[in-house]
Chain A
Amino acid sequence: MPEEYMEGLVTLSSAPPGSIVRVVRVDVRGRGPYRRLLELGVYPGATLRVVSNSLGPVIVEKNGARLAIGRRHASRILVEVLGYWAK
């Protein structure tokens, strides 16, 4: 997605753990996975908390519901970091 890189935006796969992000774009390949992500609440405008992001799938939380998203998918989701979650 580098050609579409925008100021202040990162891919979900590189969003730091603990950050609160807002989804800007979902460019995931394949209609099935794309729809599934939308339906599970990962759509442009949704606010997510990045629970963990290390080697495997990225884990995000939205209103108490947790979701693990494979890295390839996560690298095609563009987000804006809004801030950090304080414990």
Chain B
Amino acid sequence: MEVVAALAGAPNVGKSTLFNMLVGERRHVGNWPGKTVEKYEGELEHHGVKIRIVDLPGTYSLGAISEEEVIAREYIVREKPDVVVVVVSAIELERTLYLAVQVLELYDRVVVAVNKMDAARKRGIHINESKLSKLLGAPVVPISAINKEGLHRLVETVLDVAQGKIHASKLRLDYDGLPYYARSLERMLVGCSSLKGYPPEWAAMRLLEGDPAMERALREEGCTALLDALEEARRRAEKELGAPPELIAVSARYEFIEKVVSSVVEKSGVAKPEFTESLDHVLLHPTLGPIVSALIIFTMLLVIFTINTGFPLNILLDAAGLHGLASLLEESSLAGLLGAAFQAISDAIAAWLASLGTPSFIVELVADGVVTGVGSVLSFLPLIFLVFIAFSVLEDSGIMARFAVLGHGFAEKIGLTGKALLPMLLGLGCNVPAVLGTRILESDEEKLLASLLAPLIPCQARLVVILVFASAFFSNPVLQALLVASIYLYAGLLVVVLSLVFRRLLLGGYQPPEIIIELPPYHKPSLRVVWWYAWDHTVHFLKKAGTLILVLSIIVWLLTAYGPAGPVANVEESYAALLGHLLTPVTAAMGLPDWRIALAFEAGFVAKEGLVETIVLVTGIGDPVSAVRSLGLTVPQVVSFLIAMSTYTPCVATLAAFYEENRRLRYVAFLVGYELAVAFFSAVLAYHVLSIFF
């Protein structure tokens, strides 16, 4: 027999931690059918019984205001899981019980897990579980998911409820005069099939409270009589009871919750001056806050960059005369290790195939095309993984919510909410997590806007290209820094201007909504949770986008290895070069008539790292800086190239991420199209304006 248990809970109650602790490695991530919201499922076995755990999206209520709430509610009503485990937080019992109350009103096979008992104990908060269980009418299990405390008992209780050994009962609250108005609606509901499956009494109350999802369903079905009656009932209830029905309903729930909390929670000892209090003092300070936040993000990016490629620490070490240490750092960075590993694998396979007498073009196809293709898929992963780690640390610790509050004022000016700011900033590391990170945003408009703008932000790969060009053509470090800074500033300017344009022309004058953000208490991020989060997202991305990136890398390799005359020894005779020549009229308008640069742009489509590699390949000069210098570009040409490079089409991986988030090919086409246009015109302008001075 298999038992299905759904996990429900408000954001920040530690539900994902519980999920991961319960199922360990036996979990997989996907999407809810037809949605961009992630669906986590996993399995565990307990005394020979298989339990499938479905992690519902974190929601504050079942009120159908957001997509997540609709998903959670529909799942409970339509799939009827054997048990719903509602996770609440012992340190924020009042707020997190709200969802539990709603679930208990809807469903009778419920277990309430009170999480974060360890933190509660430290703060001298005691919870009388048997009393809580009695008041809620459902079994209550105190747990500490992070310490694996109480999990055994939780699973036993889940099985007891599933097997009918423990009976929970639906919760019935006193809604003042509301049920009177709901009853007339309830009778009419029988004739409307779209809400079948919902308990009629429950559905009638929700409708009275106002429920966009249910109303939409009724409208689509053509149940206008009920909708008219509903409007009338709402109007009458508001007039006769003196308050809107939703206010009466929410107040009744909180009244109940307050009564419960005051009778089950006992506080002892003196609460220490809280950490949250003092850290919020700094982080939410109007002047100190932004400075500290900027420092945190900057430091994180530096650490990510250094682990990934060794830069910028390697340059500092080099400058300090520690050349050995600098190159050691580069070699032991993730990108260095991966590169070396794939070179070794490619060489070994080539040697092995050659020893079998395989024709040389097959050897090359496998060793250079396929293995290098796999390598280029994998070369994305360290950066994506590291940025996800940063994301997860910031989110899990509660810092992210503070960033959102702090940055909201600024984000509003570019048409986004504060929540969008962190994904965008992490785009400085890698655009893939930045685009995937926009899923935390609430409205579809904002998701689209943020994911269209995020690819404009120069990632680390582009930074490396910029630095190579800066050091190839400028010897003065001040000028180098000025060049780098101006490319970044230009990207920032584009974000501001294009946000305005998109909102006007694309999103019908969209304005960012006002924020209501919960600020969870700070806590030390759990390494396991952080690891799981980053690992799951990276693997999920690899599964979705890996094939696409691999195929495109192989195509690009084929283009460079083959020409009209078959396999070519020299890239100059390849299809890629031919295409490069075809593209030169376009690049020439940007002041870059060299076909090798057009070729580099082609390679940059797969990965921006490929730009410099291609130049190394076609010039035959091993050192990137010397290779680039041999192109003999003038100042206007360098600037034109760098502006075009940092704004033209996002790499394949970013496009795959963008498609994953927005699910519409025409949006992907629009993203590529607008970026190409912006890159072209910016570069043309930059070239001609600078040509006046140089």
Interface residues of A (CB under 8 A from B): 26, 31-41, 43-46, 51-52, 54-57, 59, 62-73, 87
Contacts and interface: CB of A to CB of B under 8 A. Distances in A.
A31 B516 CA distance: 13
Nearest to A60: B519
B519 A41 contact: no
B25 interface: no
A43 B92 contact: no
Contacts of B276: 66
A15 B409 CA distance: 19
Q: For the complex, would chain B's binding face be called helix, strand, loop or mixed by DSSP majority? A: helix
Contacts, number: 107
A68 B519 contact: yes
Nearest to A34: B246
Contacts of B286: 54-56
A29 B210 CA distance: 15
Tell me the interface secondary structure of chain A in the complex.
mixed
B409 A41 contact: no
A69 to B, nearest CB: 6
B501 interface: no
Identify the interface centre among B94, B247, B251, B514: most chain A CB within 10 Å of its CB. B514
A73 B514 CA distance: 7
A81 B376 CA distance: 61
A67 B520 CA distance: 8
Contacts of B515: 57, 68-70
Given A51-B280, A55-B286, A56-B408, A41 B95 contact: yes
B94 A67 contact: no
Contacts of A34: 246
Interface residues of B, number: 37
B578 interface: no
A57 B513 contact: no
Given A44-B247, A55-B286, A67-B517, A39 B98 contact: yes
A56 to B, nearest CB: 5
Given A38-B246, A56-B408, 15 more contacts: A33-B513, A34-B246, A35-B250, A36-B60, A43-B250, A45-B251, A57-B408, A59-B284, A62-B94, A66-B276, A66-B280, A66-B521, A68-B404, A68-B518, A73-B516
Contact of A64 (B91, B212, B517): B91
Contacts of B261: 63
Contacts of B250: 35, 38-39, 43
The 10 closest A-B pairs by CB, nearest first: A70-B514, A66-B519, A38-B250, A68-B405, A68-B517, A70-B515, A65-B92, A65-B95, A39-B61, A54-B286
B604 interface: no
B650 interface: no
Contact of A66 (B98, B273, B518): B518
Contacts of B517: 57, 67-68
Given A59-B519, A66-B519, A43 B247 contact: yes
A72 to B, nearest CB: 5
A46 to B, nearest CB: 7
Nearest to B63: A35
Contacts of A69: 515-516
A72 B246 contact: no
Given A43-B251, A43-B254, A56-B405, A64 B65 contact: no
A26 B246 CA distance: 12
B521 A64 contact: yes
Contact of B254 (A41, A64, A71): A41
Contacts of B254: 41, 43, 46
B406 interface: yes
B405 A57 contact: yes
